[in-house]
Structures are given as structure tokens and as C-alpha cells.
Amino acid sequence: MGDILGLGATHYPPLITPDEARAFPLVRTLRQDKRVPEAMKDPNNWPAAMRQEYGDDQGLQSARRHRQRLVNGFRKIRAEIEAFQPDFILLWGDDQYENFREDIIPPFCVMAYDQMDCHPFRLKDGSPRPNVWGEPPEQTFRYRGAPSQARALVRGLLEQGFDIAYAYKPLHEPGLGHAFVNTLLYLDYDRQGFDYPVIPFAINCYGSRVIRNHGGAIEYSNEPDPPSPTPKRCFEVGQAVARVMRDSPWRVVLMGSSSWSHAFLTAKNSWLWPDIAADRQRFEELQRGDLMAWRDVPLAAIEESGQQELLNWMCLVGAMAELQHKPEILDYVETYVFNSNKCMAVFRS
């Protein structure tokens, strides 16, 4: 009988970059995103809380407080992992036009890799990426996979009627996409080393935007792509994973990594701030343990609110509902300026 711990976190990319660089999503959007109406570039037309958070320093002081809360959350999650001592960590994350592109877009894919060599401090054009640790751009982060356990997981899911793709090596992205490697970097924010085997479990969260927008804000085509898996299907996949792991001999961490509503996906807010109200509703359901409410959220509502990446958490929440694990909220970080609201949570029996 397997023993399972649930964890929820974020992989917010700007946590890598020093705050002083002011590489904040809102600053970039105001400078580069042509979708933003001219009137909405004026802070006087923003919500009062957003103006206060942005301040007169483009959000620098707020960014420092935002970082500290996220780092504290990751330190608590790391302590939970250390205390639990898992055989491996299964990590749900989105692929944002990184490993999967025009040649194939699987709804779900278990990555049964032996090891993953990642270079998160080199940008796609080869230029160095500044980072808060002061580490060189050629720095390699090597993570162990768990291929035998990944094969057993896929076998168990197929036997339950879930047609899950799997891979033994990367397709386009050497190592891991940002949803996975960022999470692992933040779990080792204090650079103690991180040697737990990892099974990355990719989800096509971006659905109708994954090729059309290359997983980002800019449209490269007038034609939307087919949709992502529905929240209900992600929830059911999570339940099935929990059943396979519960019947296994392993100690397993099941972890979902994503921020919630993203500003650059939220048209009704002029792509400037996330859907605070929708995230707050999901948070209140989670806080009171009403996990089944998540299963029934329509995909259209997810897309309208810019919550596409919440599908990673849908799998996690489905697994926790199956196991009847209760959530313990470590922090819920609400923000107008830093692209997305974030939740840090532990789930246990």
C-alpha cells in the first residue's frame, strides 16, 4: 500500500530574476503588448489596489515582499518533502510550446526519463539569463528520473482506460520545460541540493493557444487550436493516478505546479491583471475542502478567467479528493501586478 503526500505550488518565472532588474510581467506588457488599449496604459484607470501595488517604483518594493512570501512557501514545502522522504515526486506541469510543438500535442504525457540535464539560465537565443543565485549561464542542473515507476504508472492508467502518452527522451526541449525545472529550482532555493527522483507529467494546459500563440501572448495564427483537456478529465486523471499510487509499494509526492489566473490570458482585464474574483472562488472552495467543486468548472470559464494552468492543480485536487486528503493552506498570494495569483498548499490524510 503506497503512502502519498500532496503538494501544490507555483513555477512563477520571474522568481529566477533579481527584482532590481524589474523584469516584471506588467512592465513588459505595458511596453510590448499591442493588445492593451491605450487608455489602460494609464495607471489612473487601474483598480486602486493595483495602483498601490505598482507604487512609484514599478512594483519593486511589492516584488520583494511577493518574493519573500513565495520563498517562505517553498521552504515549508521543502521541509515537508524532507520529512516525508519520498521514493519519487510526480510533478504535474504544463508544456508551453517547449517540448511539444507542431509535430505532436498530447493532452497528457508521462516523461519516463532516466535523467534530465537542464540549463535554465540560458535563454533560447543563447544569451545569459540573470538569476538571483549569481550562477553562470552554463550551469547544468541534473535531476534523476524514475523510469521504472513511470512505466508502472502508465500501465496502471492504461488498464483503467486512460489513454496516456509517454516518452523516454525529450522531443524539442533539452532537459525540462520551465514549469518543471522552475519548480525544482525553487524547491532548492537555498541550494542544499535536490536528489529526489522526479516523474514529470505534462498537460496541454494551453489548448486552443498552444500553437496559435506558441504558449504565450502573441498570436501567430488566426485559427485556434483544439482545446485542452477539460477540468473534469484532469480531475479524473488525478483520481486514477492516486489509485495507481495507492496500490503501489512506494512513498510518493503528488505535486501540481502552476500559478492560477494569468493576466496575459485575461482579456476582460485588458491583459493587465488576473481574474481576482475567479481565483478567490477557487481558493475558498479549496480552503473549505470542497474539492469536488473544482471538477465541475467548465473549460470555457477556465479560459475566460485566464486559469489555463490551473489544470495542473486540477489533477492534484482530483488525486487528493480520491484519497480524501485535506488541504492545509501555507499561503495564498493575491496580486494585480505580478501576473498571477499563487497558492502554496499541503494535502494529507
pLDDT at 216 over 80: yes
Contact in structure between 182 and 15 (CB atoms under 8 Å): yes
Tell me the residue type at 96. Q
| Of residues 127, 88, 231, 106, the one with CA closest to residue 172 | 106
Q: Cα–Cα distance between 202 and 349 in angstroms, integer?
A: 26
Nearest C-alpha neighbor of 337 from the set 69, 26, 14, 12 = 26
**Would you say 261 and 340 are in contact if contact means Cβ atoms under 8 Å apart?**
yes
Average pLDDT of the chain is: 96
Contact 158, 238 (CB under 8 A): no
Query: 124 by DSSP, 3-state: which?
Result: coil
For 258, the grid coordinates are 502552476
Is pLDDT above 80 for 48?
Answer: yes
Question: Which position has the higher pLDDT, 172 or 1?
Answer: 172
Which pLDDT score, from 0 to 100, does residue 23 have? Answer: 85
Residue 123: the pLDDT is: 84
pLDDT at 1: 72
Render pLDDT for 1-39 as a digit per residue (tens, 0 to 9).
Answer: 779 999 999 999 999 999 999 888 999 899 999 999 999
d(CA 225, CA 289): 34
pTM over 0.95: yes
Instruction: Summarize pLDDT for 180-208 with one digit per residue, the tens.
Output: 999 999 999 999 999 999 999 999 999 99
Domains and CATH numbers, the chain: 3-348 (3.40.830.10)
Residue 312 has pLDDT above 90, yes or no: yes
pLDDT digits (tens, 9 = 90+) for 54-66: 999 999 999 999 9
In this prediction, residue 304 carries a pLDDT of 98
- pLDDT > 80? residue 302: yes
Supply the pLDDT for residue 79: 98
